[in-house]
Structures are given as C-alpha cells and as structure tokens.
Amino acid sequence: MKNLFLFLSLLAITVSKAQAPLEKQKIQLNTGFGSSGWGTPIYVGLDYGITDNITIGAEVSYQAYKIYDIKSTILGLQANANYHFNKVLNIPNKWDCYAGLSVNYYNWTIKDADTNTSLVDDTPFGVAGQVGGRYFFNQKIAVNFELGGGNATSGGKIGITYKL
C-alpha cells in the first residue's frame, strides 16, 4: 500500500509539471517504424497545431523486402488530420490521445528477377483512419504509437516525437 501511495504521488507531481502535449501553431516531428503485411516500413512526419485540439500533418514512409527473387518497394506519401481528446476527456498532459483520417498515395513496385518484369500497383490512392497516442517524457520528447489501416503502415507504428 505504501508503494502504491508513493507511485501515485510521483505520478501526480510528474503530470502537474508537464506542458500541454499539443500547442497551436507548433510543429511536432515524428519518426519510427511500422508493421504491415508487406514488411516493416520506416516513416518520418510532421504535425502542425491548427488549434489546441486539431492538427494537420504530412508523412513519408518507405519499405522494401525481398522474397525469393521477388523484390518489392513501397514509397508512401500521406496527409492527415487528427482531433486530440486531451481537453475534452481531461487527460493528463503527459499523454496525447488522438484519432483522425488520412489521404494516402503509394508507389508500390514489384520486380521479379527471374522474368525481369515489374508490376506497379494500379490503385495508389487511399483513405485511412487512425487512432494513436503519445507519452511525453519531458516538454520536448515523447514515444508515439498509432493503430490504423489502409496505408503502408497498416496495423500500427511506434516511434519518437520531438517538439520543434
């Protein structure tokens, strides 16, 4: 019981000193890796605070894999918009919880070394939904995680966020 009280006290002190996770007219840089049925993509993106609750952003992702003599590469471009629930749900400032939609473009090329043929995905555009969150270690750095579908990081992604 004493350990639980100590843990909750430290958590309250840490949360009370935290800065709001999302700020109007500020930029957050995100980078990391994802999971999908086609490999492990890496990504880099930016989020810009339109208001204290809404961000818009852009992201670039890349993945490549080879199975036998078939090589696949996927380059993705994404624009997104997210609503952040911290104020509405009274979530502590160390956390940032959001959900949103994204519009995606992917250049997916598959090359067969045996036949020397290439295929390109004929449906390169998509719309996806995402739900995610961040945990801020301090005022600048957080770990981010996101679940979503309909893009090259379908399934999920995890990475680091840095406030610029």
Q: What is the structure's pLDDT at 19? A: 52
Q: What is the dihedral of CA 28, 86, 6, 145, to 10 degrees?
A: -50
pTM: 0.78
Averaged pLDDT for residues 53-75? 90
Return mean pLDDT, the chain. 83
CATH of span 2-163: 2.40.160.20
Continuous H helices in 81-129 = 86-89
No. of helices (H) and no. of strands (E), the chain: 2, 9
Q: Where are the domains of the chain?
A: 2-163
The two three-digit tokens of residue 66, written as one number? 């080879």
Positive or negative torsion for Cα 137, 139, 142, 144: positive
Whole-number Å distance between alpha carbons of 147 and 36: 11
Q: How far apart are the first and last CA of the chain?
A: 40
- Residue 92, phi then psi, degrees to nearest 5: -55, 150
Positive or negative torsion for Cα 88, 145, 13, 47: negative
Looking up tokens 């994404």 gives 78
Q: Assign 89 a pLDDT band (cuts: 50, 70, 90).
A: very high
Q: Does 46 have pLDDT greater than 90?
A: yes
Q: Does 3 have pLDDT greater than 60?
A: no
